[in-house]
Amino acid sequence: MSTDAIVEEIEVTEALSEPDPELAGRLLESVDFDHRLMGMKMAAMGGTNAMALYSLREAASFIHVDPYEVVMFDQNATVGYIDPTMLAKWIDEVLDDAELAEAVRAEAGKAEFYGAVAMPIKAVLGQRLEQARGILDADANSGEEDA
Q: How far is CA 75 from the centre of its chain?
A: 25
Averaged confidence pLDDT in the chain: 87
Is residue 113 in a domain? yes
Query: Does any domain span residue 10?
Result: no
- Higher local confidence (pLDDT), 89 or 10: 89
**pTM for the complete prediction?**
0.84
* Enclosing domain of residue 87: 19-139
The average pLDDT across 119-134 equals 97
How many domains is the chain built from? Answer: 1
Distance CA 44, CA 35 (A): 29
Q: Report yes or no: 104 and 84 within 8 Å, Cβ to Cβ.
A: yes
Q: With beta carbons less than 8 A apart as the criterion, state whether 122 and 81 touch.
A: no
The tens digit of pLDDT for each residue in 13-35 reads: 568 999 999 999 999 999 999 99
Residue 98 lies in a domain: yes
Has residue 125 been placed in a domain?
Answer: yes
Q: Label residue 7 by pLDDT band (50, 70, 90).
A: very low
* Amino acid code (one letter) for 146: D
Q: How many CB atoms lie within 10 A of CB 40?
A: 15
- pLDDT at residue 74, as a whole number: 79
In a domain, 51, yes or no: yes
